[in-house]
């Protein structure tokens, strides 16, 4: 234990020296924690780095629809401040659903670009601006060069960039194996929802795979999907065993949402 403590200052100076060499400024990177202990502990810095590019793709059929991946990103964007730019090539986002994870339609500006090239250009423009909370772009192909440009743009302005990788055909999804300059890479797959004691669909659950994290390790998490404020929740085994709906075993604002639903 003492040895570890003694080692740490040296490690810190070394890290600082490396980051200076890499050209990062001295100011500390800001983080956006998920608020879920298991996930934040696995991410270097204790959260999703702002001023960086992140990649998210759907698993299985969701690689085509990106429904879970989209919801996951909307949840992240909802927890940032300022406007959100959402860049697509074909528009099929259903705005009321983003509202339900806390991303208001007043904050979200959509750009419908004609091609992937335009998407990347707008993406970079949005990241460079620096006044946006998050920039989300749905893009199929993301080359090393393109992602490096985006990463640099995000680093200089401090904006959060999320690339939703979305393909037209299932076979194209193999492209996700190619290396890019993004800081983290996630795959979101749907899991059966929390089972309820009554007929109905419970709170959705996702399998979050952290496929790549710069200066971190890969990990898998099972989580309950974003709530009305865009926060994830760990799958609670107690709630599962007792077959309690997540809404009841959860935080007060979930209860409020549950009541709203019950009133409806």
Does 184 interact with other proteins (rule: CB under 8 A)? no
Does 126 interact with other proteins (rule: CB under 8 A)? yes
Shortest Å distance, C-beta 160 to other proteins: 14
Shortest Å distance, C-beta 10 to other proteins: 39
Does 177 interact with other proteins (rule: CB under 8 A)? no
Does 99 interact with other proteins (rule: CB under 8 A)? yes
Does 223 interact with other proteins (rule: CB under 8 A)? no
Helix 116-129 vs helix 144-157: crossing angle, to nearest 10: 20
Does 252 interact with other proteins (rule: CB under 8 A)? no
Q: Which residues, listed in sequence order, are joined to residue 243 by a DSSP beta bridge?
A: none
Shortest Å distance, C-beta 22 to other proteins: 28
CB 75 within 8 A of CB 186: no
Residue 254 CA to residue 244 CA, distance in Å, equals 13
Residue 175 CA to residue 165 CA, distance in Å, equals 9
Q: Which of 10, 131, 237, 252 binds other proteins (CB under 8 A)?
A: 131
Most distant CA atoms of the chain, gap in Å: 60
Q: Which of 39, 68, 183, 239 binds other proteins (CB under 8 A)?
A: 68
CB 154 within 8 A of CB 130: no
Does 82 interact with other proteins (rule: CB under 8 A)? yes
Q: Which of 93, 152, 219, 249 binds other proteins (CB under 8 A)?
A: 93
Residue 100 CA to residue 188 CA, distance in Å, equals 18
Q: Which residues, listed in sequence order, are joined to residue 84 by a DSSP beta bridge?
A: 108, 134
Point out which span in 21-29, 144-152, 193-201, 236-244 binds other proteins (CB under 8 A). 193-201
Q: Nearest Cα to 72, choosing from 170, 204, 176, 216?
A: 204
Does 225 interact with other proteins (rule: CB under 8 A)? yes
Point out which span in 11-19, 65-73, 148-156, 243-251 binds other proteins (CB under 8 A). 65-73
List phi, psi (to 5°) of 21.
Answer: -65, -40
Q: Nearest Cα to 123, choosing from 107, 139, 108, 145?
A: 139
Residue 252 tokens read as: 């007060």
Residue 219 CA to residue 55 CA, distance in Å, equals 15
Report the Cα 54 to chain-centroid distance in Å: 7
Shortest Å distance, C-beta 95 to other proteins: 4
Q: Which of 24, 40, 110, 172 binds other proteins (CB under 8 A)?
A: 110
Q: Which of 94, 178, 242, 243 binds other proteins (CB under 8 A)?
A: 94
Residue 101 CA to residue 189 CA, distance in Å, equals 17
Does 121 interact with other proteins (rule: CB under 8 A)? yes
Number of residues that bind other proteins (CB under 8 A): 64
Binding site for other proteins (CB under 8 A): 60-62, 65-72, 74, 81-83, 85, 92-100, 104-106, 108-114, 118, 121-122, 125-126, 129, 131-132, 188, 190-193, 195-196, 199-202, 204-206, 225, 228, 257, 260-261, 263-264
């Amino acid at each position: 234990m003492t040895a570890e403590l003694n080692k740490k200052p040296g490690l810190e100076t070394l890290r600082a020296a490396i980051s200076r060499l890499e050209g990062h400024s001295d100011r500390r990177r800001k983080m956006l924690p998920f608020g879920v202990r298991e996930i934040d502990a696995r991410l270097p810095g204790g959260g999703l780095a702002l001023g960086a590019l992140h990649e998210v793709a759907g698993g299985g059929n969701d690689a085509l629809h990106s429904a879970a991946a989209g919801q996951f990103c909307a949840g992240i964007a909802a927890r940032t401040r300022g406007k959100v730019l959402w860049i697509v090539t074909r528009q099929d986002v259903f705005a009321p659903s983003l509202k339900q994870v806390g991303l208001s339609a007043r904050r979200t500006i959509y750009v419908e670009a004609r091609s992937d090239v335009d998407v990347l250009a707008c993406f970079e423009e949005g990241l460079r601006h620096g006044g946006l909370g998050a920039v989300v772009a749905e893009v199929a192909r993301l080359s090393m060069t393109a992602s490096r440009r985006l990463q640099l743009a995000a680093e200089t302005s401090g904006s959060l960039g999320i690339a939703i990788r979305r393909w037209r055909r299932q076979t194209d999804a193999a492209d996700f194996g190619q290396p890019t300059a993004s800081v983290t890479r996630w795959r979101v797959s749907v899991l059966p929802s929390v089972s309820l004691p009554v007929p109905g669909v419970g709170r959705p659950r996702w399998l979050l795979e952290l496929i790549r994290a710069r200066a971190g390790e890969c990990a898998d998490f099972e989580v309950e999907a974003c709530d009305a404020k865009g926060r994830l929740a760990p799958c609670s085994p107690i709630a599962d065993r007792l077959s309690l709906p997540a809404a009841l075993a959860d935080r007060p604002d979930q209860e409020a949402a549950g009541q709203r639903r019950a009133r409806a």
